[in-house]
Structures are given as structure tokens and as C-alpha cells.
Amino acid sequence: MGASTSTAGFNEIRSDRTWARLGDGTVVRTGATARECVAGEDEDDHGDDARRPRRRHYDDDVAFARDPATAAYYDRRAAEYDDWYEGTGLFASRSRPGWQQEVAEVVALVAGLAPARTLDVACGTAYLTRHLRGYVVALDQSPAMVAIAQRRLPDGLAVAGDGLAPPFADDAFDRVLTGHFYGHLPPDERGRFLAGARRVAAELVVIDTALRPGVPAEGYEERRLNDGSTHRIFKRYLEAPELAAELGGEVLYTGRWFVAARAVRPGPG
């Protein structure tokens, strides 16, 4: 792919503010509770110490996939979800150098996967899903997202369901794909997702958001929608080798904005 391999840093903790705005416009809560990650300004990398992801231990009440407020946020966001990819709406004024090039490269990565029976978990609007080859089932807990996804998948199927417990038989698919879902999951939900994905398919492909300078490795973010409403969402940013190690697989893509990795479940014997 066109992006070069790199790792990203994380600024020193700052406790002198309540909210900090990152270079891409994301607002991150700082100095609030022991389980919330905090960050300084969006600065350049500062050497090896800054390159190491800084992770915190989170309380049991941290949730994403099983959080009703988060579910309501994504259902409400469905009509404007693609603005994030396309740099429109609230994202039009954000400075994201190289963003559109990397979006195109990620789309090419998805389109280049071998044809297969694929389950896309947390498909959203099927922005990436529609580029898969082979028979596709798109799963999302948001009815509004599923409605949009189905319109984009005339030869596939979009269904509402639980991404942590896919409602399908063992080995019903060749591949599970997920984009920008895994990086939102706290440890307990990650474990449940990986178990479910490995149950229904031998191959797992994860696309997510890259850790970069000035961005906290993980924590709660404030998200704003076009109607002015704000929502508190858990988010992790990942380095490609870190993601591959968590999956027990290999790096597929590493860029400034996106990372991807693939793992294949060992066969019997």
C-alpha cells in the first residue's frame, strides 16, 4: 500500500484542563477520572518515549458495544456517518493531511481481499462493506445503519444484531471483517468479539484508527452530531504491530490515519 510503516506517539498527561481539542478536531476529556485517558496538544513525535502507547486499566463499567447510550448515538449518527470518511459536514474544516489518499488505500485493501463468504461486524453504512467480493452479510446493532447498508448491498444481506455474539452457526463464513469497531472495545468486550469472530469464520480482518502524535492511546471522547448533541464514546488508537499482536496475526496496512491486520484461525491438527 502507499502508506509507509510508522509508529505514533502520545503526549505527556496534562491535568490543567477539562477538555482538550486534538489536531483533527476531536475533543478529548482530560483530568476527569482515573479511568479516562488525557492528552496534551497535538505535537510532533518526541522520540522513543513518546512512541510508546500509554494504556490505562479501566473499570468494569467501561463499555461500548453493550452501552445503550453508545447504541443510541450511532443510530442517530447513521445519516451523517459517511461525513467522517468523505471530509464533509462537521469534518469539512478538519486538517487531515493525506486522509483521502489513505481512505482510498483502505478501500483498495478491502476490494483486493479474495472473494469469500464474509460477515462484516459493525458494518455501519457499508461504506467499506460494499467493496467486498463474494457473498456478504453485514451486521450492525443500529437499525438506521442497517437500512443504509442494505441499500448499498443489493446482492448481500444487512441484518441487525449483536456484534459480540454474531447470530450465526459455527463456521458459517470464510471471513469476518470489521472496520472501526474493534478499536472501541474495552478488554472484556474485545475478548467476546474475538471469540465470536473465531467461532463463525477462520479468517479475521480488522481495520481501525492509527495511534499518532498528540492522540491519547485510549479514553473517552466527546462526539458532536449535526444537531448539536454531544455524546461520550470510548475509543482506542492502535499501532499496526500492536493490533496484529492482539489478533495473533499479521499487519495488512499501516498509515498515519488507518491500520489493518489479519489473523487466520489454525486448522485442526
Read off the CATH number of the domain in which 185 is found: 3.40.50.150
Q: What is the DSSP letter of 11?
A: P
Task: Give the number of other CB atoms < 10 A from CB of residue 210.
Answer: 24
Q: Which residue has the higher pLDDT, 18 or 173?
A: 173
215 within some domain: yes
Model confidence at 59, pLDDT cuts 50, 70, 90, reads low
Question: Phi, psi (5° rounding) for residue 162?
Answer: -90, 115
233 within some domain: yes
What is the residue range of 126's domain? 19-264
Average pLDDT score, the chain: 82
Strands 203-209 and 175-179: parallel
Q: pLDDT over 70 for what percent of the chain?
A: 77
CB neighbour list of residue 245: distance below 8 Å, 6 or more residues apart: none
- Grid coordinates standing for 134? 463474494
Q: In whole angstroms, how far apart are CA 78 and each of 127, 174, 232, 268?
A: 11, 28, 17, 41
Whether the predicted pLDDT of 39 surpasses 80: no
91 within some domain: yes
End-to-end Cα distance, the chain: 34
Query: 247 with 204: CB under 8 angstroms?
Result: yes
Q: pLDDT over 90 for what percent of the chain?
A: 72
Distance between CA 202 and CA 265 in Å, rounded?
5
Model confidence at 268, pLDDT cuts 50, 70, 90, reads low
CB neighbour list of residue 195: distance below 8 Å, 6 or more residues apart: none
Alpha carbon 214 to chain centroid, angstroms: 18
Give the mean model confidence (pLDDT) for residues 86-98: 95
Task: Give the number of other CB atoms < 10 A from CB of residue 92.
Answer: 9
Model confidence at 61, pLDDT cuts 50, 70, 90, reads confident
Q: Which residue has the higher pLDDT, 211 or 57?
A: 211
Task: Domain count for the chain, please give it.
Answer: 1
Model confidence at 60, pLDDT cuts 50, 70, 90, reads low
9 within some domain: no
243 within some domain: yes
What pLDDT, on the 0 to 100 scale, is given for residue 258? 98
31 within some domain: yes
8 within some domain: no
Query: 253 with 243: CB under 8 angstroms?
Result: no
Distance between CA 159 and CA 135 in Å, rounded?
14
DSSP three-state, residue 101? helix
Q: Helices in the chain by DSSP H: which ranges? A: 48-51, 68-77, 82-86, 99-112, 143-152, 187-200, 240-247
10 within some domain: no
- Tens digit of each residue's pLDDT (9 = 90 or more) over 193-249: 999 999 999 999 999 999 999 889 999 999 999 999 999 999 999 999 999 999 999
